[in-house]
Amino acid sequence: MSILKDAITALLGEDVHFIEGYQYPAKVVFCSVPREKFVESARAMKKAYALLAAEWAADETSLGRGYGIFACYRWGSEYLIVKTEAPADDPAFPSLTKKFLPAYRFERQIQSLMGITPLDHPDTRPWIKFEDWPEDSWPLRKSFDASRPMPRVKGEYKWTRAEGEGVYEIPVGPVHAGIIEPGHFRFQAVGEDVLNLEERLGYVHKGIEKRFEALSWQEGFRLAGRVSGDTTVAHSLTFCMALESLAGYNPPERAHWIRALLLERERIANHLGDIGAICNDAAFAFMLYQMMRLKEMLLRTNHKLFGHRFIMDRVIPGGVAVDIGAEGKDEILSELARLSKDFERLVTIYEENPSLEDRVRNTGMLKPKRAREICAVGIVARASGLNLDCRIFNPFPPYDQYDRLELDVPVMISGDVHARTWVRVQEIRESIRIIRWILENMPDGAISVPFETPPPDKAGFAAVEGWRGEIIYWLQSGLAGEVNRCMVRDPSSVNWLGLERAIPGNIVPDFPLCNKSFNQSYSGHDL
């Protein structure tokens, strides 16, 4: 019983071919359609109210095929991946942008890095690939030699322009004023009102997806942990889960629970930092320093118990590298008691401050309709009325014990800075509760199983709710069981589009505030 499977069969009939035994876990439906039916399959998904979660391409020439183009759709707890193929001598596929907005950037990325043309795409400017890259540099192709530096060529990026009396332009970045990552924003404004915001990202493109192909599976989880340093637990966890599905083994129950514990600790730490930073950008520095103090408390406990402040490299393929004993449990419980008490006091201060309220309410609104259009995920989606959370819809233990855990997912509909802050506040409360529950109920046993090499020419998929939102990894093994492709989809890849849509109509000085409330990753997006 799968709604998406039924929907695609109803519209495409004989043309859709369901493939079993290639991609794992088996509950994620995998099917292929002919190239000319690719848009039709998107139409079927749109009719079934599915959202586009990711779109990517893989060079399968070394597997004796052409290029594979994949689109991953999500509806409720179902995932469906549609594959279509393009022969190596005709690398092109029909664009899905007119059906699903997030395909806009995914497809520009496919064209820029894999050299496969999305036909009928409204915007053919390169993305992540800069104008000074040689035209024929497609790093994700197998024929590309990634070890050598690239020469620079002359080129120009065509920005969106606005004309008219009194219209002026503000370029910002890539080197920003604060201690943050690089990216370029260009505003067209009249007076203080922003007419349009155009983002240009790609400055921190480190060639991560290509780098995965040069590393072994056992090294890969370390690289995954550095895709976005603030989300290290969730990224390495997603990578490991995809790898475990691919290789067909399951970590022990206790390892799952410890993973969930680390994931929730990462969520609390980052949300605390974000709430403080949002208030700071509304000139309420008091909150920043208070929140930073609480965050530091958490990071120190991490360092003491797990040996790393951000818990890097502690989630490994087959389990986890750290266990937690009775002392650790007490340590966390007493830390949470202190944290929770101080946090609640600060929340009251946040709520009772009218000058803060004036800045955060009705600012940077991403309407539910817009959020749905861009297929937003994570906190951004939940602040704009979309009830999405992988912990509920695609759970791993212990999240799958719905009746015992009773996970409460906050959803707001106003979509403004306040909504995004408030979703974080409620998630911190919930995470504190989950951690306490995990510590009380965690089963005993081993914390890891030995690594196994994946079988040749298979694929593995995983989706995990990191603190920003749903992270997706799709791994494909080559003929010798090596890494053929590692697709990374950070929540930022879709949510950055949300910022572009939330800004017009706001005043220029509110931009930092709005940007902070989204707080998307540059590194996770640029890869």
Partner 1 sequence: MIRILKQIFRTGIVTEPLPLDAKQEIEVVGLKMEEAIRKRFRRSITIRQVDAGSCNGCELEIHAINNPIYNCEKYGIHFTASPRFADMLLVTGPVTHNMEIALRRTYAATPSPKLVVAVGDCACNGGIFGESYASLGGIDKVIPVDARIPGCPPTPLQLMLGLTRLLESTEEQKSR
Which residues are near partner 1 by CB under 8 A?
A: 130, 133, 137, 139, 144-150, 174-175, 177-182, 202-208, 210-211, 222-223, 226-230, 232, 273, 286, 289-290, 292-293, 295-296, 299, 303, 309-310, 312, 345-346, 348-349, 352, 521-523, 526
Residue 148: CB minimum distance to partner 1, A = 7
Tokens of 75: 């509806």
Query: Minimum distance between the CB of residue 139 and partner 1, rounded to whole angstroms?
Result: 6
Q: Min. distance of Cβ 295 from partner 1 in angstroms?
A: 8
101 and 107 Cβ atoms separated by less than 8 Å: no
Query: 346 or 371: whose CB is closer to partner 1?
Result: 346
What one-character-per-residue DSSP string does 89-105 give?
TS-EEE--TTT-TTHHH
Q: For residues 125 and 495, what is the distance between their CA atoms, to the nearest angstrom?
A: 20
> In angstroms, what is the minimal distance from the CB of 472 to partner 1?
18
Q: Which is nearer to partner 1, 144 or 249 (CB)?
A: 144
User: From the CB of 93, what's the least distance to partner 1, in Å?
Assistant: 24
Least separation in angstroms between CB 206 and partner 1: 5
**285 vs 479 by CB, closer to partner 1:** 285
Choose among 514, 507, 500: nearest CA to 184: 500
Distance CA 94, CA 31 (A): 17
Identify the burial level of 13 via C-beta atoms within 10 angstroms of its C-beta, where 0-12 means exposed, 13-18 middle and 19 or more buried: exposed
**With respect to partner 1, which residue has the nearer C-beta, 288 or 411?**
288
- CB of 224 closer than 8 Å to CB of 238: yes
CA distances from 433 to 239, 254, 430, 438 (A): 26, 19, 5, 9
Cα three-residue angle 141-33-40, rounded to 5 degrees: 110
The nearer residue to partner 1, 35 or 226, going by C-beta atoms, is: 226
Q: Tell me if 430 sits within 8 A of 408, measured CB to CB.
A: yes
**Distances in whole angstroms, Cα of residue 521 to Cα of each of 102, 183, 211, 438, 527:** 17, 10, 19, 29, 10
Choose between 149 and 166: whose C-beta lies nearer to partner 1.
149
Closest approach of Cβ 177 to partner 1, in Å?
4
**Under a CB-based contact definition with an 8 Å cutoff, are residues 495 and 468 in contact?**
yes
User: Is 37 or 295 the residue whose CB approaches partner 1 more closely?
Assistant: 295
